[in-house]
Every structure is written in structure tokens, then in C-alpha cells.
Amino acid sequence: MPASRAPRVPAEERLFSLVLALLSTEAGLTKAEILANVQGYRQRFTPGGDNASLERQFERDKDDVRDLGIPLETIETPGAAGNNQTLRYRIPKGEYDLPLDVRFTPDESALLSLAAMAWREGALSTDSRRALLKVRSAGSDDDGSTNAQGVAGMGAYAPRLRARDAAFEPLRSALDRGAAVRFDYITPGEHAPRRRDLAPLALVQHGGRWMLAAHEFSTGGTKNYLLSRIVGPVSVHQVGQHPAPAGAAEKALAELDRVWAERTARIAVVPGSDAERRLRRRRGTEVDDDGVLVVHHVDPQILAEELAAFGPEVRVLDPAALRERVVARLRALVADHTDDDRPADADDRPADADHADAGGARG
């Protein structure tokens, strides 16, 4: 089948297949081997042809894999230093294995897969997708067959995990039909959603999250909307009147990359902690002379949510606005777990409240 007519493979299925392939080889795989053999790439790969767009997709997928906390390594071929075409990629299995005391029976693994399928029309958090990828990849030894490139059992796996938000399908349908859409959207910091009336331009995945680039009728501007913040149904109208321009997806991704490059946060982490390991593996993370991590991001609210999940393992140094967001999340967490009927005794407050009030944003 020509690459142009190849059936579309969902992004999360492509990422899972990529992780599985890179776990299944000790020597690593070259970019050409990955594009020619891994599910989600091989359907669009043209031997000896122009695969530039597919290579760009692979570069974005590498970033998404690392953003999920997966230790993807790059290995240079001896005698070919600096040659990107001979670089080999792998995921060290020892660093991505489940803990030794965590094992699943076949029945438990089947139930986990069923749970993933049950969520196929909903939104999975980054932590959920990371966990499901790890659990499913742990079963890669079930089929020992390999192909010429050492990709174990690729033909035997048909992952069906859908890490999409409920709004994805109606928005994709609206794009295909050149239609406008309406939906309710919650802006960070607001408690009530607001109605948005838009002309979709592109659905893109950036940093492991789906976003809609769209023209907003009320302002005449182009904005990005996080699908996980869309609440309620998506309604479609004005079918055929708003076709998306060519190259809209590439333009949206370029703008997101520009914002990502400009926005950084300085994060102090506990040495050897899970926070240090995961944040250091994020794309573009740098470490200054004091061991402070400089982390790139697009959405401060999303980063605040991620940092808050690490508990006392992180402390936001700057920007102050991000630190305040993390403090606000910690205070809300304390409030949610505080019994309102108890006397307001300062000595009886949860320890986390002291952390939040201390000024250091313990994310």
C-alpha cells in the first residue's frame, strides 16, 4: 500500500510500539531501522524515498517518550561520531523494569489491559500513561521472536491503549469537514468554564498532551487549547466553511516549540530522588553549577501540577508565579484533606500546611 494511503496509526499506539521495540534490543536501533519496521512508522515509510516528515515525527516522538520519564539513550557508532544516520537508540531495560517486588499474573495483566481499553474514550494523565506503558512493556518477553533488526515480536502485538481526551474525535471530525466548533473550556485559575466558538486549524501533540490550534472568532486571534480542559460535548456547525490551511499543524508545533524554548523554571531537587531522575530526563533540562535544574515548559499550570505531585522532593526557586501556583495547589490539597469540624488549632494542622505557608513551594 502506498505510504500516502496507509491507514493512520494512533499516536499512543505508535509510542507504545516504539517503546517496546527499543526495550527489545541491547545494541539499539538506527533511525532507518525504526522507521522501516516499527508500527506507526513503517506504514508511511518509503524505502529510498523522501521520509523527511516521518523523521520529524520520530524526533517529536523521542521528546514525548522522554517527557514520560522513559530513559531513551542515544549510542554513537564507533568511528562515525556526529553522524545522525548511524546513531542507535535504545531503552536500557534494567532502568525501566518494574520493581523486583512488583509482579503481575496473566490474569492481572489482562485486567490492566481491559482497564486501559475502558478508558479509550477518556483522558489519561501523564502518570497513568507512564504506568501503563511500563506495565505493558514488562510483558515484552512473552514472544521471543525477532525480525532481522532484532525487534522482538512486533507482529504479535496489537496495543489498543487510547490516551485521548473525549473531545479528540469530534474535533478531528470537525477538521476533516472544515467545520466550526463550540465547547466549554476551563481556563487555569477560573472555577467556571466559558463557551468558546472556534475554527479548528490543527490537532497536535506536544509534550505528550493533545492541543487544538484554532482561530477564535471573538478576538480574531489564533490560540492553543488543551483538550483536557474542554468540558462537556463539542458541537459542530458551519460545516465546510472553515477548511484548515495547509501547514497549520507544523506552524502550531513551531509556535509551541518557540514558547517551550523561552519559558524556563529553576527547580531545586533532592539528590537521588524520583523527581531528580524524571526532571533531568525531560527534553532540554540543564543542570547549573549548584545542581539546580533548569526545566523548559509551555504551560505553567501543567508544570505546577507535575511539580506538586513530587511532594517535598522539589522546591521552585523561580519564577515566582510558578512557585505561587505550586503553593496554591498544596494549600488546596491540605484544605481537601482537613476536617472542617475540627477546631482551628495551629498546632493541630497537617504538616503539609506548614510546608505551604513557609514560602518555599514544595511541589
In a domain, 201, yes or no: yes
User: Does 195 map to a domain?
Assistant: yes
Question: Residue 7's pLDDT is what?
Answer: 59
Per the model's pLDDT, the better-predicted residue between 66 and 31 turns out to be 31
Does 161 fall in a domain? Answer: no
Q: Phi, psi at residue 123, to the nearest 5°?
A: -105, 130
Helix residue spans in the chain (DSSP H)? 11-23, 31-37, 52-67, 93-96, 106-118, 126-137, 168-177, 248-262, 274-280, 300-308, 320-336, 351-357
The domain of 293 spans: 263-357
Q: Are residues 276 and 346 in the same domain?
A: yes
Q: Give the alpha-carbon dihedral of 302, 304, 306, 309, to 10 degrees.
A: -140
163 occurs within a structural domain: no
Q: How confident is the model at residue 355 (pLDDT cuts 50, 70, 90)?
A: very low
C-alpha cell at 239: 460545516
Angstrom distance (rounded) from CA 56 to CA 49: 15
* Distance from chain centroid for Cα 147: 29
Q: Give yes or no: residues 273 and 324 share one domain.
A: yes
Domain stop point among 220, 253, 286: 253
For 73-89, the pLDDT digits (tens) are: 888 877 666 667 778 99
- Do 174 and 223 sit in the same domain of this protein? yes
Domain end: 156, 182, 199, which one?
156
* Whether residue 25 is found in the same domain as residue 59: yes
**Exposure string (b/e) for 313-328, b if CB count within 10 Å is 16 or more?**
bbbbbeeeebbebbbe
Q: Say what the pLDDT of residue 155 is.
A: 36
Q: What average pLDDT does range 186-206 have in this prediction? A: 88
199 and 81 in one domain?
A: no
The C-alpha angle with vertex 259 and arms to 257 and 262, in degrees rounded to 5, equals 110
Burial class (CB in 10 A: 0-12, 13-18, 19+), 219: exposed
In a 13 Å sphere around the CA of 361, the CA atoms on its Cβ side amount to: 26
- For residues 41 and 21, what is the distance between their CA atoms, to the nearest angstrom? 12
Say if residue 125 is in the same domain as residue 226.
no
pLDDT confidence band for 199 (50 / 70 / 90): very high
Phi and psi of 314, rounded to 5°?
-130, 155
Percent share of the chain, pLDDT over 70:
70
- Among the candidates 109, 136, 156, a domain finishes at 156
Residue 179: which CATH number? 2.30.30
pTM of the model: 0.53
Residue 313 lies in a domain: yes
Asked whether residue 90 falls in the same domain as residue 129, the answer is: yes
**Of the listed ranges 40-44, 57-61, 128-132, 155-159, the one predicted with least confidence:** 155-159
Statement to judge: residues 227 and 332 lie in one domain:
no
pLDDT of 363 above 80: no
Residues 49-81: tens digit of each pLDDT: 888 888 988 988 888 888 777 888 888 877 666
Report the domain count for the chain.
3
